[in-house]
Amino acid sequence: MVIVSTPSTGDPHTMPDAGYRIYALAGVALFAIGFYSLLVQAHLLRRIMALNVMGSGVFLVYIALGAQTPGPIPDPVPHAMVLTGIVVSVCATGLALALVDRVQAAAGDAEPGEDA
């Protein structure tokens, strides 16, 4: 994938092993799978899980990008961002679950009507 194959820093001689790309690609694939499920799944819990899969995909891309830096020590900045991202995603999941609970209590089933 073009996106991650052109590291911005470091000259070619000190470039790290490009093995991190497989993780970045896996992350993009997870993101795509999650988004597809979000679009096609009707069940609300499955859609929340789909969002979590998308999020994990994004985090995997970030972690892989941390390996772009030359040398044995990975770049900590994307890792710090992932930590923030995880906190946000836990909150989002909690909010979504609470809301689904309320919707179910109001509607009596887990699938939204067409009048949504």
Partner 1 sequence: MTSAWAMAWLILTPLVAAALAFAFPRLGRSLALGTAGVIGLAVAHLMRLVFANGVQTHLVSGWGAPLGIELRADGLSVLMLIVTALIGVAIALYSQRYFVSEHDDEALHRERYFWPLFLFLWTALDALYLSADIFNLYVTLEMLGFAAVTLLALAGTRAALTAALRYLFVSLSASLFYLLGVGLVYGQCGTVDLPSLAAQARSGPALWVALALMTGGLIAKAALFPLHGWLPPAHANAPAPVSALLSALVVKGPFYILLRLWFEAFPALMTPAVAQVFGALGAAAILWGSVNALFQPRLKLLIAYSTVAQLGYLFLLFPLAASREGGFMAWSGGLMLLGAHACAKTAMFLTAGNILHAAGHDRIKDLDGITHVLPVSVFAFGLAGMSLIGLPPSSGFAGKWLLLNAALAQGQWWWVAVMILGSLLAAAYIVRMLAHAFTRVNEPKTPNPIPPVMEGTALALALLAVVLGFASPWAAELLRVGAPVVGPIVMGGSVP
Q: Which residues bind partner 1 (CB under 8 A)?
A: 2-4, 6-9, 28, 31, 35, 38, 44, 47, 51, 54-55, 57-58, 61-62, 65, 68, 77-78, 80-81, 84-85, 88, 91-92, 95-96, 99-100, 102-103, 106-107, 112-113, 115-116
Smallest separation (angstroms) from partner 1 to the CB of 13: 19
Q: 22-27: list long-range contacts, CB under 8 Å, 24+ apart.
A: 23/60, 23/61, 23/63, 23/64, 23/67, 24/60, 24/61, 24/64, 24/65, 25/1, 26/57, 26/60, 27/56, 27/57, 27/58, 27/59, 27/60, 27/61, 27/62, 27/63, 27/64
Smallest separation (angstroms) from partner 1 to the CB of 98: 9
